[in-house]
Structure 1
C-alpha cells in the first residue's frame, strides 16, 4: 500500500462527520448513548457542526463500529451515511456545476470533513482514479472507516449524475469470503490486495453536469469553506498560507503583512520559514490564483475581466499575462478548450 498521510497531535475530524456516523449507526440499530460513552464523546463536542473532534476519539468510534454483527460493517454504515450533514463540504460538492468541479472542491476542502487520510485524484488514459490513503492503515478499524467512506462516495454522486458509471472499485485488504455487500454497493468489477483504496471512473465523467448544480450557492459555500479552512491548525506553514490566501482573495488583493499577523509571525520570519519548507509567498499566491482561475473559467460564464477582480488583480491585462505564463493559453482559449473536452 502507498505511504499513508502523516498523523500529528492536532489531527482532527469535523463534528458534522462524527454526527453523521452516529446517525448511520443508529439506523443499523446501534444505541447512540452506548457508543458515545464507549468513546468518551459528549454532546457538547457535537453541538457546533463546524467544531472539531480529535481523530483519536473518532478512531475509537470506528473501533466500536467495526464490531457490528453484519457482513462488512463499513459498507453497511456507508450506505446509511447522508452526505448533507458533512457541514459545508457536502453541500458544496452537491451544488458544483460538474463532477470535475465537485472533485476539485473535495480535494481542496477535504480537511473540513476530517484528517484521517488524504484523497488523491489521478488521470490514467481514459480512467479517473479517486483514491484514499488513510492514517494508520494497519489498524483493523481502518478497514471499516475506509469502506464507509467509499460507500458514501457512491451514495452521494450516483443520484447527482444521469451518466454515473463505475469501472471498478479497489481495496487494499485481501478478498473476503463473501462479496455480496461489495456487489450491492459498487455494482462493478472488484480488485482486492490493491496498492490503494479507491474507485475508478470514466475520465469522460469529469465534465458531466450535476443535476443539483447551483453556482451562486456554490460561490457562497466556497467563501465559507475558505474561512473554515484557514482556521484549522496545520503542521506545514505552506498549507496554512494557502488556506489564508484563499480566504483573502475572496475580498480583494492579498495583504502579506496582514497574513503574517494572522499567523503571529513577522513578514521576515514568514519568508524564512516558507523557505525552510522549500516554498515562498509569491509562488504560493500564484499557485492559488491559478487554481481559482481555472475553476472560474471551467465552471462559470463570468467574463475574464471579472475573474481578474475576484483574484485580486487591479488590471485584467496583468491577469491575462499571468494566465498565459501558467498555462500557455489565454483565458478565452482555456475556457473554449474545456468546453470541447
Structure 2
C-alpha cells in the first residue's frame, strides 16, 4: 500500500544488464532487444546509472513475447547472475546473517529498482518475504516477478547451509503445468494468493551466511548510502500514501494532521498533489480499495473488521464504497476470489 506508480520510477542499469545477459543465454539477440525497447548501450555502461522503469517494463514484455517457455520469468530467473546487481548483491552476500541480508535488501531496494515494494513480515514461525509490484495485472509483471523470485532463491541457496522454503505464493491462478515451479522453488506452491511471497522458517533469520565479511559489508554499506542519497526523493504522493496507511488504523484519516506532518498547509498539500496528477481524496480512496481487496483475498478477517481497519465509522459505508469501486459487495468479491483459488 506504500507504493504508488510514478512516471519518474527507475531501475538500475545493472539489473537491466543482468536481464539482457539472461536473455542472451536463452538465445535472444541483445541488439534486437535494445532496439525494440529504445535502449542504447551507452545508457548501460555505468552499473549505478538509472533506466526508466517504463523502458525496462517494455523489455520484460518483449521477453515474454519472444521466449518459447511456459513461464519465461522462471527461465530468465535461473540465468540471472548476482554480479551485475552491483553493490546491493555483494552487500547481501557479505552480510553476517540472513536477517542482516534481508534488512539490507529492504533498506537499499530502491538502488535496484522502483518497480515494486519489498517487505518482510514475521508471522508466528514463518518469515514472509513479500514483493508488491507496480502494475500487478500486466503480463509483463508476472514474468518480471517470477524472474526476481527465482533469482532470490538461486542467490540464497549457496549462502546458507540449510536454506529451504516452506512455501512460495503467487498472485496469478495456478497454471496448467507446475514442473518449472517445482524445479525452482522445491516447496509447497500456493496460487491466487494475496501477494507474491517466499515463506521461510523464521529460525533462518539468525542463520549465519557462508560468505559473511563484516569489514567488506561496512564499506559496501557506505557506498550504498551514498548511492541512495543521489536518487530522487520519494514523491509527495508516495509519502501521503504511507501516512494514510498509518492513519487508517486509528480511524478516519485527518487531512489537516497529515499536512502538518509534512510541514505543509492543506492548500499547499492539495496544490502539490495536483501537480503530481493526484488528490488527497483520490489517494485515500485508492489506498482503502487496495487494502480492502487485499484483506478480502486473504480471507482471515470479517468484512465488518476490515471496515474498521480502513477507518470507516460504519460497515455500511464501507460496503457502499466497495460496491462503487468494484461493482461487487465484499461478500461477492470474496466468494469470487475463493472460486478462483
Q: TM-score normalised to the size of structure 1?
A: 0.69
In the alignment, is the contact (CA less than 8 A) between 1:8 and 1:235 conserved in 2? no
Aligned partner of 1:191 in structure 2 is: 190
Alignment of 1:196-275 (within 5 A): 196-236=195-235, 274-275=262-263
Q: Secondary structure at the match of 1:85?
A: helix
Distance 1:81 1:25 in 2: 9
Aligned partner of 1:145 in structure 2 is: 144
Aligned partner of 2:54 in structure 1 is: 56
Distance 2:217 2:236 in 1: 27
Aligned partner of 1:155 in structure 2 is: 154
Q: Quote the offset at 1:277 in angstroms.
A: 10
Aligned partner of 1:12 in structure 2 is: 10
Q: Secondary structure at the match of 1:70?
A: coil
In the alignment, is the contact (CA less than 8 A) between 1:4 and 1:134 conserved in 2? no
In the alignment, is the contact (CA less than 8 A) between 1:130 and 1:200 conserved in 2? yes
In the alignment, is the contact (CA less than 8 A) between 2:4 and 2:238 conserved in 1? no
Q: Secondary structure at the match of 1:63?
A: helix
Q: For structure 1, list consecutive stretches of 5 or more residues without a partner in the other structure.
A: 241-270, 279-341
- Match status 1:39 vs 2:27: no
Alignment of 1:59-138 (within 5 A): 59-67=57-65, 68-138=67-137
After TM superposition, the runs of 4+ consecutive aligned structure 1 residues lying more than 6 A away are 237-240
Distance 1:277 1:133 in 2: 31
Aligned partner of 2:169 in structure 1 is: 170
CA shift in 2, pair 1:44/1:208, >3 Å: same
Distance 2:2 2:233 in 1: 17
In the alignment, is the contact (CA less than 8 A) between 2:71 and 2:180 conserved in 1? yes
RMSD over aligned Cα atoms: 2.0
Distance 1:272 1:35 in 2: 47
Q: Quote the offset at 1:225 in angstroms.
A: 0.3
Q: Quote the offset at 1:237 in angstroms.
A: 6.7
Aligned partner of 1:293 in structure 2 is: none
In the alignment, is the contact (CA less than 8 A) between 1:14 and 1:114 conserved in 2? yes
Q: Quote the offset at 1:87 in angstroms.
A: 1.2
Distance 1:30 1:201 in 2: 34
Q: Quote the offset at 1:163 in angstroms.
A: 1.0
In the alignment, is the contact (CA less than 8 A) between 1:151 and 1:186 conserved in 2? yes
Q: Quote the offset at 1:274 in angstroms.
A: 3.5
In the alignment, is the contact (CA less than 8 A) between 2:11 and 2:50 conserved in 1? yes
